Amino acid sequence: MKKHGLFLISFCLLCSGCTLSTNQNLDTSVDMTPRLIATSEIMDSAQIADTVKSAIVGISAGLANGSSIGSGVAIADGGYILTNFHVISGAKSITLYFADKSTASANYVWGDSSIDIAILRSAKNLPYLDTAPLENVEVGDDVLAVGTPLSLQFQHTFTKGIVSALNRTIEIPSLGGYTTYMQNLIQHDASINSGNSGGPLINTQGKVIGINSLKASDAEGIGFAIPIETATAVANKIIKTGEFKQVYLGVFGQDALLAKFNQETTEESGVYVVDIDPNSPLSNTSLKKGDIITKINGAPIKNTLDMRKAIYALSPDEKVEIEFKSPNAESASNVVV
């Protein structure tokens, strides 16, 4: 079983507030023809870097009081780019920097601050990468992190490491004094710094397995990436329909294994219900705080990543059946909303 871990140390997000001028002489050796970059072959680091670089972008988000520097990766035809929400939050303008040293503007399409993911659309189409789900990732796998550490001068920086652990949970203090958790993260030891936010974590087939988001500020070689499938369900709907209408169930949960760590349940699989919005569709059902969600519309729910994928796949008018376990109950229950 892939183990969870709860870290109670200091973490920092990976966006940068500084920028330097960049050389705008075009590099014609980089093929920027829009296309899917995909291979089933295992490549060495140099081959991976050469293969994927045209789909990676540096990002400068113009803010009211300066700029935020980060990274992104194209994951679909039409210039759709994934990055971290905190990179572009509050942006008045967004500029992308490509591997051939050209630039283009981008528009904000969608974002969710709770999972720190945003989708942009570039004014210029570009090559895009294939993705690989978390189930294909193993501890010890070689990976490359790509991004724009420190400033735009260092855009398209590649660093190498391995997957150190899977399904990590880390505690993030919020400005309001509340504690939130980022769950189901990929831990790796590829070097990442401020400006790497939103850049991809790539496997040896050149596929995106995650989006780099934060690192341990008091340690070396402890970085974290958000699994790519957190965003692909949303991205696929936007690409297909031009929009994403998020279904709101109003249930707030955490991995059952984290709740067990906190001695709130004895279950190890599923999503522990922390709270239910009193104005949500679930408020008048039998589902309550302390229950463990195990299935949504028949799909097994092992953790919050599974729950997000299931909810993101729903349509606004679709009926939802939730199967759950209550403490000391002999059998599972279900509700339909």
State residue 221 phi and psi, 5-degree precision: 70, 25
Known catalytic membership, residue 197: yes
Virtual torsion, Cα 110, 82, 168, 138, nearest 10 deg? 140
The strand pairing partners of 108, in sequence order, are 120
Distances (CA, A) of 129 to 15, 75, 83, 189, 311: 22, 5, 14, 22, 25
Q: Taking Cα atoms as reference points, which of 244, 236, 254 lies closest to residue 291?
A: 254
Give the angle 238-242-248 at the CA atoms, nearest 5°: 55
Known catalytic membership, residue 188: no
Q: Are 37 and 129 in contact (CB under 8 A)?
A: yes
Known catalytic membership, residue 255: no
Give the angle 60-180-178 at the CA atoms, nearest 5°: 105
Catalytic residue among 54, 60, 67, 116: 116
Q: Are 266 and 300 in contact (CB under 8 A)?
A: no
Distances (CA, A) of 154 to 19, 22, 99, 124, 220: 10, 9, 11, 22, 20
At 140 the three-state DSSP class reads: coil
Task: Give the per-residue SS3 of 259-294.
Answer: HHHCCCCCCCCCEEEEEECCCCCCCCCCCCCCCEEE
CA dist 40 and 228 (Å) reads 18
Catalytic residue among 60, 67, 71, 86: 86
Q: Which structure tokens are listed for 295?
A: 């299935």
Catalytically active residues are: 86, 116, 197
